[in-house]
Amino acid sequence: MRFMVMVKATKESEAGVLPSEQLLADMGRYNEELAKAGVMLAGEGLHPSSKGARVKFSGARRTVVDGPFAETKELVAGFWILQVKSKEEAIEWVKRCPNPMEGESEIEIRQIFEAEDFGPAFTPELREQEAQIGAQMAKNASR
């Protein structure tokens, strides 16, 4: 199973303060450990929300709001995708992570949906439809 492991933003990360050399080195070592254990599928750091935007939906209307965004602690500053055996294993790996920020910080662990997790909601009809879209695309391509 896979988990998205998200580092939450702080005032400093939102202000664009870059991690210290020491933290970068520690993080590099940690990433290497994850990769060597065969559990890390991907991982990236994110720019502050001032460089981002939001698209808000209301019925058929879309409104674009540029960053930065206020609720710092709810923002994501970076993430990993881990492939592990259980949530407990994901937790154990995250406990081994160096503190990603200088002071207080938080890392959130969320399981990624796999096709089989959808259960009855992902009905055969829905799957069929997806398959038909694929088949149609293939047909269009061969024209």
Partner 1 sequence: MIDRTIEAVWKIESPRVIAGLTRMVHDVGLAEDLAQDALVAALEQWPQSGVPDNPGAWLTAIAKRRAIDLFRRNERLQRKSELLGRDFELQQEVAQPDLDAIADDQIGDDLLRLVFIACHPVLSTDARVALTLRLLGGLATEEIARAFLVPEATIAQRIVRAKRTLAEAHVPFEVPSGSDLAARLSSVLQVIYLIFNEGYSATAGDDWLRPALCEDALRLGRILAGLMPNEPEVHGLVALMEIQASRTRSRVDAAGDPVLLLDQNRTLWDQLLIRRGLAALARAEQLGGALGPYALQAAIAACHARARMAADTDWGRIAALYDALAELAPSPVVELNRAMAVAMAFGPAAGLELVDALTSEPSLKSYHLLPSVRGDLLARLGRMDEARSEFTRAASLTRNARERKLLLERAAASSGSQVL
Residues that bind partner 1 (CB under 8 A): 35-39, 41-42, 81, 83-86, 88-89, 91-93, 114-115, 123-124, 127-128, 130-131, 133-135, 137-138, 141-142
Give the residue with the Cβ less far from partner 1, 7 or 93.
93
Termini Cα distance of the chain: 39
Taking alpha carbons only, the member of 113, 92, 97 closest to residue 3 is 113
Smallest separation, CB 94 to partner 1 (Å): 11
Smallest separation, CB 63 to partner 1 (Å): 29
Taking alpha carbons only, the member of 141, 4, 24, 28 closest to residue 80 is 4
Smallest separation, CB 36 to partner 1 (Å): 4
- Separation between Cα atoms, residue 13 and residue 19, nearest integer Å: 8
